[in-house]
Amino acid sequence: MNYPHPIIAREGWPFLAISIILALATTVWCAAWSIPLWIIALFVLQFFRDPPREIPQDADAVLSPADGRIVAVERTQDPYAQRDAIKVSVFMNVFNVHSNRSPVDGSVQRIQYFPGKFVNADLAKASLENERNAMLIKTADGQDITCVQVAGLIARRILCYVKEGDVVARGQRYGFIRFGSRVDVYLPLTATVKVAIGDKVSATSTILAILARH
């Protein structure tokens, strides 16, 4: 679901409204006591920011679905598409933008939700043990890209706005994870990865990999 760009993600509007109302009310009562509440309101504001991004025009590019830091680049098994794949994982801390965006153009073949634990999303075991939501996308030339939203240590809500059969566009906002998390992207073995562990990436504007033409 694409929505007109709100600057502050709509997922955060209730949280921001509540934090500002509490801070204002406390300011009227006692300005000194309101300082921690204003700090909380500022944190909520920065957490739910959702800045516009330039979309690279390379049709073969796989774009980062999230802001954060690369914590894994490895050949592994894609447990959602049952295939060998290259996994690239992006870890988001509480200071990153948490709006998730489609890495490629394509059609949504499958959505799978799995309940699970809430261990630190920076750990490798989070990919298979934590609460997660997997989206399998098929590109126009038939290549499969799996994008998995993974809850983190304090993340307690994974939001996904697309369903099976939907068509998504690169850079389209398709979901959100509240308060620290991870997104795993499973690529075909023929893809050329353009990032390395430790790299900082930005949703949509960073190219994670280039797909080989069929």
Q: What secondary structure, in 3-state letters, does the chain show?
A: CCCCCCEECHHHHHHHHHHHHHHHHHHHHCHHHHHHHHHHHHHHHHHCEECCCCCCCCCCEEECCCCEEEEEEEEEEECCCCEEEEEEEEEECCCCCCEEECCCCEEEEEEEEECCECCCCCCCCHHHHECEEEEEEECCCCCEEEEEEEECCCCCCEEECCCCCCEECCCCEEEEECCCEEEEEEECCCCEECCCCCCEECCCCCEEEECCCC
Mean pLDDT of the chain: 86
So what's the pLDDT on residue 27?
87
What is the rounded CA–CA span in Å between residue 36 and residue 152? 25
Give tens-digit pLDDT for 105-155.
Answer: 999 999 999 887 766 656 677 677 788 999 999 999 999 999 999 987 665
Residues with a catalytic annotation lie at 181
**pTM value surpassing 0.75:** yes
So what's the pLDDT on residue 54?
86
Residues belonging to the chain = 214
